[in-house]
Structure 1
Amino acid sequence: MMKRMSAFNMARALSALFVGIAVSVAVLLPAFADDPLTQHVDSSEQVVREETTIERGHVDLGPKIVDSKPEILARDDSGETPIWRPLHTLVFRVSDSGKLQVPSDPSYSFLHAHEGEPYWVIPQTQNPRVVWLGWNTQDPELIKVMGSGATMTLGNLQGPGKAWLFLQDGAFGAPTVLYDSSTSSQSDIWVEANTHVHANWAFSAPGAYALSVRWCFGDKETPQCVSDTLRFVVGDGAKVEEARALTPNALAASLKEETDTAKPQAPREQGGNSEYLIYGVICLALSVLAFIVVSHRTKKSKKQIEQAREDVLRDFGAESDV
C-alpha cells in the first residue's frame, strides 16, 4: 500500500512539474459540451490579411479553400468572431508565462535536457496566458475535396535552439513525438478529415524561430500541396521583427517533386539505348558464369556426398563385424 501511495505521489509531482503538457489525448473526441476540441467551422468565416502577433487565445493551423485554391491559414479564435489569417502575416509569441522545467521522467529524454532546465511550451491543453496553437481540417470547402485526410509536414527550422511537437496520451501517458528538429529535417503527420487536434510545441531557447510547413491532400496520385512558414518569438525579450526576417528553406511544392529530388533517376541522355544494351550483355555474362560455377560446385558436392556415404557404410559395416 505504501509503495502504491509513493508511486502515486511521484506521479502527481511529475505532473505538477510539467503542468499543461500532461493532458488528455489530443484527437477529435465525441461531442461533449465541455470538450474544448469540439468546434464548428463555418464557411462564411472571413480571411483577414493584416500583420499581427498572437500572444494568447485559441488558434488552429490548417488548409482552407479560398477562391477555389488551397492556402495554409490560421483560424484565429482568440476574438469574439473566428477569422482566418495567412501565415506570412502572423507571428506567434510564446511568452515567459509558458516557461516550464523539464521533468526527470526518462520518457522526456528526447528533449536532450537535464532535469530542471527551462523550456518554452505551447501546451496541449489551454494555458490562458499563452497562445494555444493546434491544427484542424474542418473548412467545409476543404472537406469536399480532401478525401480521407491530409498530410501536414513540418520541415526546416531556423532559430537559436531546437523545437519539438509531441502528443501526451492521458495524464501520465508517455509522450509521442511528432516532430524533432534535432533528429530529422522533416516529419509527416497524418490528419484525418474534419479533425481538430492540439499538441505540445516545445522550444529549447528564447529567440526568433521560423519553421517550414506543408499540407498535402486529395488524390494520392496527384495531391494538392501548399507550403508556407510558421514564425514564433520565444520569450518576452524576443523581437517580432527578427522572426519576420527569417526565411527557412521551403519544403518541396509537391510530394512528387520531393520524391524525385530524394531519389534522382539515372541520366539517359548520355549513351541512350546502347547503355542499356551494354548493361544487358554484362548481366547476361555474369549470369552464365554464375550458372557454370554453381553447376561445377554442385557436381563436386554430389561426388563428395557419395564418397562420404560410402565411408560411413564401410565404417558401420566394420563396427558391426566386431
Structure 2
Amino acid sequence: MAVSALLALTLAAQPGLPAAQPGSPDPALDQSIAPDQPVAEGPAVLAAGHVDLGPRYVDDEWNLLIHDDAAQPVWRDPDRTVLQVTDAALRAVPDDPVYGFLGVPAGTEVHVVPQVQHPDVVWVGWNTQDPRVMQTIDRGVTLELAGVDGPGEVVMYLQDGTFSEPQVLWRSTEPPGQPMWVEVNTHTHANWVFTAPGVYLIAIRASADLVGGEQVSATRHLRFAVGDATSTDDALTAQPDEVAAPPPAEPDPAGADDADDAGGTGPWLVVGLVVVAVGLAGALVVVVLRGRAVRRRVEQERAGS
C-alpha cells in the first residue's frame, strides 16, 4: 500500500501547513485547464479516471467543484457526483509501524484511492488551476477537512518515494480543520484510505485571500461509495446527519430513577419543611403563653400573702 507519485514535498509558505508543490516528475500531473470548460448539469458516478477537487468561479461566485477529465473535461457539482471506490482498491495494511497512523491492525484490508493512478480505481486529487482562480487569489488556497460522516475512518497522506515516511495530511479521528496550504497552479494527488466500506460524505472547505483584499470561502461534500456492495444511489441522496449516525443514547435506568425521585420528592420535601416550621412556630407560641400564665399566677400568690 506504500504507493507514491514521487512528489516533491516541501514546507508551505505558511508555517504548520503541509504542502505539495508543483513541478512533479510524474507527467500525469502536468495539466492545464481551459477557462471555458462547462459545468455538467446531470448526476454522475465516477468509478475510474482522473478527477480533482478545486476552486472555481460559478456565476461570479467562489465555489468548490469536481474537475472530471475522464472523457471530455467538465466541472461537476459535488452534490450530484458520486466517487465510487470499488473493491479493486482493496489493499492490506503493511506490517510496518510507520503505518500506525491508519489506526487499524496490520493485515487488515482497507480501500485505498492511490496517489498514483490505478486504471480500475477513481483517481482523486486537487488543483488550483482554474484560470480565473489563478488570476484572483493571493498566492494560494487553504484546504481544510471540515468533517467526515461515514461508517469508518478516513486518512489522507502523501509519500515521497517508496522508502520515505508518509506525510499525513488529514485524519477523520482528529478535530475538524487540519489546514493544508496549496499554492496557485498546483495539481496534486494523495492516498485516501477508508477503513470500512459504506457511504462517506467528506466536507472540505476551500478559502483564500484575493489580490483585491477580499476573503472567499466555500464548503462542499465529496460523496464516496466505498465497496462494490455500497449503493451509489444511497451515496447520491445521503445527508451528513444520516450517514452512520450514532444510535440515540440509552436512558440510564438508575439515572432515570434518581431524576424521578428528585423531581417527585423535591416539592414534597419543601411542603414538609414548611409544615415543620409552622409546627415549631406554634409550639413556641404555646410555650410563651404558658410562661406568661405561670408568671401571672406567681404574682397573684405573692400579692395575696
**Superposed pair shares fold, TM > 0.5:** yes
Q: 1:171 aligns with which of 162, 176, 182?
A: 162
Q: Which has the higher relative contact order, 1 or 2, with Cα contacts under 8 A spaced 6 or more apart?
A: 2
> Which residue is equivalent to 2:238?
246
2:205 is aligned with 1:214? yes
After superposition, where does 1:4-19 map in structure 2 within 5 Å? 18=1
After superposition, where does 1:1-322 map in structure 2 within 5 Å? 18=1, 21-25=3-7, 27-30=20-23, 35-79=27-71, 81-219=72-210, 222-248=214-240
Amino acid aligned to 2:104: A
Q: Does the residue aligned with 1:164 lie in a helix, a strand or coil? A: strand
> Contact 1:28–1:37 at 8 Å: present in 2 too?
no
Deviation, structure 1 residue 49: 1.7
Amino acid aligned to 1:233: A
Deviation, structure 1 residue 170: 1.3
Deviation, structure 1 residue 31: 7.5
Deviation, structure 1 residue 163: 0.3
Cα shift readout 1:112-144 (whole Å, capped 9, x = no counterpart): 111110010110000000000000000001111
Q: Does the residue aligned with 1:42 lie in a helix, a strand or coil? A: coil
Amino acid aligned to 2:51: V
Cα shift readout 1:41-84 (whole Å, capped 9, x = no counterpart): 110211112111100000010001122211111110101x2111
Q: Which runs of 5+ in 2 are unaligned?
A: 9-19, 242-305
Cα distance in 1 for residues equivalent to 2:21 and 2:116? 13
RMSD, aligned CA:
1.8
Deviation, structure 1 residue 183: 2.4
Cα distance in 2 for residues equivalent to 1:160 and 1:139? 33
Larger Rg: 2
Amino acid aligned to 1:30: G
Q: Does the residue aligned with 1:36 lie in a helix, a strand or coil? A: helix
Cα distance in 2 for residues equivalent to 1:31 and 1:22? 12
Deviation, structure 1 residue 29: 4.2
- Give the direction of change, closer, same or farther, for the CA distance of 1:29–1:218 in structure 2 (3 Å limit): closer
Cα distance in 1 for residues equivalent to 2:162 and 2:119? 19
Cα distance in 2 for residues equivalent to 1:196 and 1:205? 28
Q: Does the residue aligned with 1:151 lie in a helix, a strand or coil? A: strand
Deviation, structure 1 residue 222: 4.2
> Contact 2:21–2:183 at 8 Å: present in 1 too?
no
- For normalisation by structure 2, the TM-score amounts to 0.71
Q: Which runs of 5+ in 1 are unaligned?
A: 1-17, 250-322
> Which residue is equivalent to 2:296?
none
Cα distance in 1 for residues equivalent to 2:4 and 2:185? 25
